[in-house]
Amino acid sequence: MSADHARPRRRLFAEGTTIEDLKTYMAPFAATLGYKLNTESEFVDEVLASELEILADTGDVYCPCRVRTGDPKEDAMIVCPCIPFHMVQFAAIRKCWCGLFIRYDVEDGGELLGVIDEPELGAQVEVPVCRVNDLAPGQTKHVKAGKTDYALARVGDEFYAISNVCVHAFGPLADGVLEGHELACPWHGWRYDVRDGTTNHPDADVAAYPVTVRHGYLWLTCAL
């Protein structure tokens, strides 16, 4: 007996979950990350029907085009929608692996079906990381894209991004307090200027990254 069947399955979705239920559950979340359901509605229904079969067998909606490892932590990265775990790759190919979700600026999702043409490792990719309206003035937000953790900050109608890791003791800067252009680390109060990542402590500046605003989303340029 496999490990999956040796332990009781938790019910993560209601009995009788339908394709329309999955659309209602997935689409709004994907939209926060700059993605929408493929414009090919028949294809979408086929993929979601496969996910319902996987749900009945495993207890969760794993991506139908990826193989589970049996390690719950690893397999969490392929539970649909898996966009947050593969933001740079998906932004580069303008869709998720199977094509269920396409980037919001793709008009014809049918053109991307079956196409996986990733840039070379190390290539610079523009990545939509959140909606403009999801970051209110005076707020910060943690975003992970690829291997980098960013602290996004909004000051008025200006947007900034710096490394999320405080140099002092590795505190999460996005959890800190933003006052004007200064972001105070939540652990020990070290203060960073979100415009350029500088601090008044010697040799302790953090990296700053340009933020582009386009069609209601914030974009960062990340390495694949």
Could you tell me the residue ranges of all domains in the chain? 3-117, 125-223
Q: For the segment 24-80, what is each residue's pLDDT rounded down to a tens digit?
A: 999 999 999 999 999 999 999 999 999 999 999 999 999 998 999 999 899 999 999
Task: Spell 126-157 as b/e; 16+ CB within 10 A means b.
Answer: ebbbbbeebbeeeebbebebbebebbbbbbee
d(CA 90, CA 118): 9
Q: Using the structure block, give the residue that is written with the tokens 């997935």.
A: 26
Q: Inform me whether the pLDDT recorded for 117 exceeds 80.
A: no
Tell me the whole-structure pTM to 2 decimals. Answer: 0.88
State whether the Cα torsion 128-130-131-137 is positive or negative.
negative
d(CA 54, CA 213): 38
State whether the Cα torsion 155-158-164-167 is positive or negative.
negative
Q: Using the structure block, give the residue that is written with the tokens 């040799």.
A: 203
Q: Using the structure block, give the residue that is written with the tokens 């910060």.
A: 140
d(CA 150, CA 165): 8
Amino acid symbol at 147: K
**Domain 3-117 top-level CATH class:** alpha beta
Q: For the segment 127-162, what is each residue's pLDDT rounded down to a tens digit?
A: 999 999 999 999 999 999 988 999 999 999 999 999
DSSP state letter for 173: G
Closest by CA to 55, choosing from 2, 82, 6, 17, is: 17
Q: Decide yes or no: CATH 1.10.340.70 for domain 125-223.
A: no
Q: Inform me whether the pLDDT recorded for 85 exceeds 50.
A: yes
Neighbours of 108 (CB within 10 A): 11
